[in-house]
Amino acid sequence: MAEPVNVGNGKPSIPILNERTLPKFLESARIEKKINKNSSRLKLFSGSANPALSQDIAWYMGLELGKINIKRFADGEIYVQLQESVRGCDVYLLQPTCPPANENLMELLIMIDACRRASAKNITAVIPYFGYARADRKSQGRESIAAKLVANLITKAGANRVLACDIHSGQSMGYFDIPVDHLYCQPVILDYLASKTVCSNDLVVVSPDVGGVARARAFAKKLSDAPLAIVDKRRQGHNLR
């Protein structure tokens, strides 16, 4: 996988995918036969959270991103208008709910609503980073289970299906009343580590807490049974600003 590069604002970004930077594990799976753009009922639309990722996905599938107009009003409200027909189409909305989580989530909900009102046949919300997933239970009294609330909002907005990557806990999938496709990013990370030719003698896989042991153990096994370490995590309080 290509090395991250630093841009002007200091945030890392991954170069747009092409034949040279395509990860090894994707090479054999690359769609050779491009989808006919004129006859296909498949539509991809990107929110503003990560347009570069959306462009990579569209390139891999041999499609062009759908035309959509997303604006912000002076008071911060979000405006969304589809610039092409989606009537009878299978629509995929690409929008991680990464920071700013609330703004990106609201944008996703409005995109879903716009597609529903435009008579899309099926609407799939593709959420690589599912915000609020860590709020999946009540650890203290009088707390909200925000993961369930977000699941309800996405469903009520009109989504027929959700696709997410490495959700914080499997139980969050049960909060949805619609199908959820849960993808694991382990192959991508393993491919990156393999490209770095890390010496096995210096490699240790660390789980940040007891809850992550199963996932860390799976990584260690794939990395030639590397040693496994577990951190005794103790929270001093919420991660607040």
Read off the amino acid at residue 109.
L
Name, of 7-16, 163-172, 176-185, the range with top average pLDDT.
176-185
Q: Which tops the pLDDT comparison, 135 or 166?
A: 166
Instruction: Tell me if 46 is assigned to some domain.
Output: yes
Q: Which tops the pLDDT comparison, 241 or 128?
A: 128
pLDDT at 167 over 90: no
**Quick one: DSSP state of residue 170?**
G
Would you call 219 helix, strand, or coil by DSSP?
A: helix
Q: How many CB atoms lie within 10 A of CB 98?
A: 15
Distance separating alpha carbons of residues 122 and 116, to the nearest angstrom? 8
Pair (10, 64) in one structural domain: yes
Pair (24, 137) in one structural domain: yes
Pair (145, 216) in one structural domain: no
Give per-residue pLDDT as tens, 68-100: 999 999 999 999 999 999 999 999 999 999 999
Instruction: Tell me if 193 is assigned to some domain.
Output: no
Predicted TM-score of the model (pTM):
0.78
Q: What is the pLDDT of residue 59?
A: 95
Across the range 30-36, mean pLDDT stands at 53
Across the range 181-187, mean pLDDT stands at 91
**Domain tally, the chain:** 2
Q: Which tops the pLDDT comparison, 213 or 28?
A: 213
Pair (120, 58) in one structural domain: yes
pLDDT at 25 over 60: no
Question: Helices H, strands E: what count in the chain?
Answer: 6, 11
Residue whose token pair is 């989504």: 159
Tell me the longest C-alpha to C-alpha distance in the chain.
57
Pair (231, 146) in one structural domain: no
| Residue 16 banded pLDDT, cuts 50, 70, 90 | low
- Assign residue 119 the CATH number of its domain: 3.40.50.2020
Instruction: Tell me if 38 is assigned to some domain.
Output: yes
pLDDT at 160 over 50: yes
Domain range for residue 95? Answer: 5-187
Instruction: Tell me if 30 is assigned to some domain.
Output: yes
Pair (116, 178) in one structural domain: yes
pLDDT at 12 over 70: no
Pair (144, 32) in one structural domain: yes
| Residue 223 banded pLDDT, cuts 50, 70, 90 | confident
Q: Which tops the pLDDT comparison, 66 or 232?
A: 66
Q: Which tops the pLDDT comparison, 238 or 34?
A: 238
Q: What is the pLDDT of residue 136?
A: 82
Q: What is the pLDDT of residue 133?
A: 85
- What is the helix, strand, coil percentage profile of the chain, to 5? 30, 20, 50
Instruction: Tell me if 195 is assigned to some domain.
Output: no
Instruction: Tell me if 211 is assigned to some domain.
Output: yes
Pair (42, 105) in one structural domain: yes
| Residue 141 banded pLDDT, cuts 50, 70, 90 | very high
Task: Round to the nearest angstrom and report the end-to-end CA distance of the chain.
Answer: 33
Q: Which of 4-13, 43-52, 175-184, 199-208 has the lowest mean pLDDT?
A: 4-13
Across the range 221-230, mean pLDDT stands at 89
Full DSSP string of 230-241: E------S----
